[in-house]
Amino acid sequence: MTRWLTLLALCCFPSVAHANELPNVIVFYTDDHGYADLSCQGVLDDIRTPNVDALAASGVRALHGYSTAPQCVPSRAGLMIGKFQSRFGVESNGSSLTGFDAETTIAQRLQRAGYVTAQFGKWHLGPTNEITKHGFRYVYAQNSQAAFSANLFMDGTDRKMASLKPEGYHVDACSRAAASVIERHKDQPLFLYVAYRAPHVPLDAPPEYLSRFPGEMPERRRQALAMLSAVDDGVGLVMETLRENGLLENTLVFYIGDNGAPLKIHKFDAPGAGPGWDGSLNDPLNGEKGMLTEGGMHTPFVVSWPGMIPGGQVYPHPISALDVAATATAIAKIETANDELDGVNLIPFLSGDNTAPPHDALMWRWTGQSAIREGDWKLVRSGRREYLFDLKVDLEEKHDQCVMHPEIANRLRDRLSTWASELTPPGLSTAQENAAAKAYFDFYLDGKEPEPLREKFLPDAKSSRVKRGRSRFLGVATGNEDSPPRIESPLSVPSQESGMD
Question: CA 137, CA 149: separation in Å to the nearest integer?
Answer: 13
Helix (H) or strand (E) holding 51: helix 50-57
Q: What is the mean pLDDT of residues 137-141?
A: 98
Does this model's pTM top 0.85? My answer is yes
Average pLDDT of 80-85?
98
Q: Which amino acid is at 378?
A: K
- For the chain, give the percent of residues with pLDDT over 70: 86
Q: Enter the DSSP assignment of 159.
A: E
Q: Residues 277, 282, 288, CA angle at the centre, nearest 5°? A: 60
pLDDT digits (tens, 9 = 90+) for 28-44: 999 999 999 999 999 99
CATH topology for 362-444 is Arylsulfatase, C-terminal domain (3.30.1120)
Residue 15 predicted with pLDDT over 60: no
Q: H-helix or E-strand containing 257? A: strand 251-257
List all residues 6 or more positions away from 294 whose beta carbon is below 8 Å from its beta carbon. 35, 282, 285, 286, 287, 391, 395, 396, 397
What pLDDT score was predicted for residue 455? 52
- First-to-last C-alpha distance (Å) of the chain: 61
User: Domain extents for the chain?
Assistant: 15-350, 362-444
CATH topology of domain 15-350: Alkaline Phosphatase, subunit A (3.40.720)
Distance CA 314, CA 63 (A): 6
- Are 105 and 80 a contacting pair, CB within 8 Å? yes
The rounded percent of the chain whose pLDDT value lies above 90 is: 84
Which tens digit of pLDDT belongs to each residue from 209-222?
A: 999 999 999 999 99
pLDDT of residue 142: 98
Q: What is the pLDDT of residue 121?
A: 98
Alpha-carbon gap, residue 280 to 283, rounded angstroms: 10
H-only helix segments in 58-206 = 72-81, 98-102, 106-112, 170-184
Quote the pLDDT of residue 501.
Answer: 64
* DSSP alpha helix (H) spans, 185-248: 207-210, 219-244
